[in-house]
Structure 1
Amino acid sequence: MSQFDVSSARENREPDRNPSEALASAPVGVDYAALVQAIEDYAIFLLDASGRVVSWNVGAHKLHGYTEQEIVGQHFSCFYAAEAVAHGWPAYELQQASLTGRFEDEGWRVRKDGSTFWSNVVITAIRNQAGIVTGFAKITRDLTAQRDYVEALRQSEERFRLLVDSVKDCAIFMLDPQGYVMSWNAGAVRINGYTREEIIGRHFSAFYPPEDAAAGKPARELAIARQIGHVEDEGLRVRKSGETFWANVVITAVHDESNRLRGFAKVTRDLTERRQREELERSGIRMREFIATLAHELRNPLAPLRNAISVMQLEIELSPTLVRSRDLIDRQVTHLTRLVDDLLDVGRIMSEKVELRLAAVDLAELVTRAIEAVRPFTDAQEQRVVQHVPVEPVSIRGDMIRLVQVLQNLLHNASKFSPPGSRIDITGRIDYSMAVVEVRDSGCGIPVRSLDKIFDLFAQEKSGQSRGESGLGIGLTLCKSLVEMHGGSIFANSEGPGCGSTFTLSLPLASPSASEAADAGTGAATPETAPLRVLLVDDNHDSADSLAMLLELKGHDVRIAYEGREALQIAPSFMPELAVIDIAMPKMDGYATLAALRKLPGVADTMFVAMTGFGHAGDREQTRAAGFHAHLVKPVEMALFDALLAQAIANRGGGGSSS
């Protein structure tokens, strides 16, 4: 009888014999049985010809969870999931092992507690001397950990592949050690123009201009990358279409675990647009320098021309022809002078050399001056300019000369592009704490597509205007620049050609002056006039210290916090009546500091003032929305600060009214 003739052993009066005892009596002896029993990492057991368990080792107990007493005599299908049993998989495994002598499989198996594990199973058929299958030897290994690792690695590689393939802004691909393309992502298709099928297997020198390829540049770059690990270059590369583009290229050598070169990773970025922007910036600098020089040079001959016209105007016995000629020259010199002035101002603004003389500007006076300045043009066209300004005074913070220049430009444009005898309206009002001025005409209008472009330097809208109506295209650029320098904004609106145009500009209102504060009986505090408790919160030590020194000289009690958290420690005991808070502070900015201070006891009557270097309308609206009572723009004029101090004194005990 064979040592594994299990069925014969069961038939020959040993049906209840322990399988280990059967193994012990086998020719291989006790050592073999002990060896099998001692193995813990593998489940090694025997099945009879029908698939029932007849032996069970320690590894099987550990892996499957059954004791020998629990499992011997049970059918091995209990190790399979219900779905596999329903599909007859256990019987199929035994059938295949019977036919071929051996069957190997990987799949999910079930433990006694119902948990599953991924296993490798080898089933070997056992035959007697007559060649009849009498049972099966079954070895099972738990490969769950290995499978999880392989699956994680596969998913990682898949995620990396998807990541690389989905990148469209960079060409990312692999080269073999000789420089032939092995992979190709979506960015490479977009940048280089080749599809994957067209480029895989081709040498990467196809991306270089012919002269670079002939000079051996591709080979040199691979040699450098092979030697030092990577190489970076910027230069021209060639698309499939033959078009060249400016590229940044990084080639990195890729080695395996044994430091054998596997190939090269190549990343290419298209920098054509960036290079063009840089070139435009350089051209812009040269253009600004040229404009400034040109404008200055043009003004030299204008002075004697103007003087000559003045001399001619003193002559009283000129013929009508000479008078008409003189007046024509006068008008053209005036027009040329205005163009040169605008050109010079554009050059100054682009070179950041314009300085505004800011003061309180009365809106009505501003509009009147602009209308008078443009009257020669409107009178020549028999046009009427109608102003609509509030009866009560409206004070703008600005440079009167520059603001007149802005409105004069807008009115001149309205006159130039409106028919003779037409009406131009200029309207002023206060809207959202800003002075708003509108210039409306009924002229040729502006196509909607051009509304965003007309403020660009040298931009002109040609449709609907004759050659004689054109200009340099700098007037509106100048208006926009000057308005923005005032912290305002300007935009155009038109329903289209023939529908007229409206230009709307917004300018900041002037803050209360020291004289207005004095009229209200709230002059600067002195030691005898109830000093304020003032908390200064500013991370700029020099700014905070100097302002504190000034306020203390005026008799006020001042505390300094160089950051927001320090202010939170000072405020509860100091109970400030005025808190001046810098917005742009590290760690805890002005908005967070304000929010935290408002939660403290004793600050209900505090007047909170934002202090910042930003003074646009949006910045003021943001601080107002955050709960600040006032907005100061650095450097702060002392007259304005005195007015705020006076207001804080007036509000003492009143909860800090908003201004």
Structure 2
Amino acid sequence: MHDPAHFLPSFVWRADRDGTIQYANPWASRYLGMPAREIVGRSWQAFVHPDDIAPVLEALRTMRDGSLLRNVEVRLRRADGAFHWHVLHLQAQRDTAGRIGDTVGVATDIHHCRDAWAMYEASERRLKAAFQGARMGAWEWDMKNRLVRMNEQLAALYSFPPGTEAVALSDLWNRVAPEYRAPFQQRVEAALYCGGPFEFDYVLDNDATPPRWLRMRGHTEFDEQGALARVHGVTFDITEQRAAEDRLIHSERRYRALVESTGALAWSAGADGEIRPASEPWERFTGAESDRLVKWGWLDFVHPDDRDRTREGWLAILQRGKTGTLTFRMRRYDGAYRVVRAHAAPLYDAHGKLQEWFGTTTDVTEQHDAQAAVEARSLRLTVAMQAAEIHIVALDLASWTLSFEIGDEPSVGDVQTYDAALAQVHPDDRAALDRYVRRLAAGDDPGGHFEFRVRNPAGEQWMEGSALLQRDAHGKPLRLIASVIDITERKRMELMLREADRRKDEFLAMLAHELRNPLAPIRTAIALLEKDGRADRRSADLIELMRRQTEHMTRIVDDLLEVSRITQGRIALQLEPILVGTAIYHAVEAIAASVEMRGQHMHVDVADATAWVRGDVTRISQILVNILNNASKYTPQDGHITISAKADDEWVSIVTTDTGTGISADLLPKVFELFSQGERTLDRSNGGLGIGLSLVKKLVELHDGTIAVQSDGPGQGTTVTVRVPRLHHHEQHSAQVLSEPAAGATPSALRILVVDDNRDAADSLAMLCEFGGHAALAAYSSAQALEIAAQLKPDVALLDIGLPDIDGYELARRLRHKGESVPLLIAITGYGQAEDRLRAQSAGFDYHFVKPVNVESLLKLLSSMTGGG
């Protein structure tokens, strides 16, 4: 029979007193990439990182001083030569003379946990730097206490002293400029009354020149009684933006004055080409009211011989959607026809959609006599009307030199060789741009626009352009002519949007975690009320109502947190073989009460009861329960829900069908989007956050599976199909089983210390322990906990992790000295990831509960310690 270590998925060896390896398990052989017989006889130091040998030797020396068990973190060399971090558990064995003989080492891989923690710390630093770089302040108004909590950036924006974290709400409002103060308060009160998100701008009361403008964006939060509890949001400095807007307004006024001073007639047109002329200038030129010129009426003033040609030319410009020029004769107020040149330029929005046309019509009769001069001027004006920011670049293919034209004038003497210009392009974009240019020069059509970055003293600059090949009279490539525009600001906005999306994910994670804290004392208080036998029937119904709603709230918070974790890539699956039939029956059992309460009929069909998949038990259950809950939620009374499983050689398909409300065709493509929902009913019975299917899809994809939703429309029911890769018998592996701790002598009633800086949570948990027949005292800080523990001598300590003075990990180490087993340490925390549990275990905790605590599980654990369970 094999040694138990033979099956462990951990690095296990046994070495003698001199450090020579006597045994290595198969996992160690696979990790090191050599047979066990080659490992035996070598020193353990051959596989440990040189920098980590000294800590191992120190741990061995400490064991020889009396202890027989030590843990140390080391890096072990893998088969490919890379070192991975492990926790090495060392245990010494004494020989018959009482001396330490062989030493057993068990190494557990923690490499990814260390990387994840480093990434988390880096993310926190980046967020803080982002707030500082954007000069953006975050805040929260406590409306019940009339306090404002703020970060250091907001304190700086309002010129509060450094280190200010909270001020009275009135102090914040008094920082607004007097002339803006009353409108500011009115807009705040209106936004709070409406209850939705709000945003507005205001000026601070200071002597800054120009005045400091701030923009506030906030969101309200109400308590369970509907009273306004908190308002939270961000504030950022928009002084430069407001100044830029003012400059833009002045620039438009100057531009209009400039156009009018040249004698040109300005006009605009809709995207359909219908003209909207400026009233006074056109009335002076034509002698007719402007109403006669709108839309297509202006054609009546065009010379009859030019009318059809001008109409077709304008339609051609509209079809191309690009800047165009028309020359034609137009009747003046005195009846004379004047030669005019009309220039039209399209105006597009940020998404490339045509909004309108802007144009000018100029009397060029005098210039028309000098045709050559008019053509030269026409070419420069056409390029100038593109936009002041567009650069025209010409590449002479005979000499491969570039010349530049900015605005309406060529840059005299500004000529560069192609290689010199290419050297100024960012190295990452250089090869792609060169391929584009050479393909175009060879007569190919690379198509579309090109983008590249240029390095200059002011920093990195993004450019976008398009180019055409010009040929000579014999068709030989002559030169490339390109127009290039600066798109740095657009790229900056794209990066800001991606950053805002990342902050949104982090905010959702923070929100879900913070919501767990108030849920914990509520759930505990409800459990106490349920166990109080003195409640009458009406009170019992109300308590049951609160319990159901609290559980519903807990599920919503958990779903929100799960979506955020998956989005940020913080979910790690614990994969093991799972029997599909068992997983389905467990999911059906979990929602059976809900189905029965709604008067629905559940059908289960598992044709192949021996089909296996590799998955995370918790996540597979989460997938199936979420799908079944959705089916039950949208299926009426006496409706039917069917879940079945079928398997082929490659896949296991789990199909859930219902006779419910179905999904409309317009919603069906969006069912997997976060916060996407169908139409709510007036009673909101089908409400929720629209998280469920988005979470399910992400979890299925983490299992390398697929999910599809089908419905023939409203009232036609819904079918959800989940496909997961099948696991065959030869691929199964034994799952790791942890042994239960040995039972010790415990009193019939425990002395329990409860520590939480949330007084409601601490007091309600202490009351729950007392209800179970134990003696419990609550402490609201680590310092108070240490004082109480010195007197109480607790058997059990229930510790919150996120304490303000000394965190729960350090408090655990101070409450229980090395080598002792009392008090039993139980973590009560909102942090429930695998790395959180590992950290709690390393700090000495025996058990780990995630808020809100499952009351029955906690009471059952305490009862088992007294021999009562």
TM-score (norm 1): 0.42
TM-score (norm 2): 0.32
Larger Rg: 1
Higher fraction of strand: 2
Higher RCO (C-alpha under 8 Å, 6+ residues apart): 1
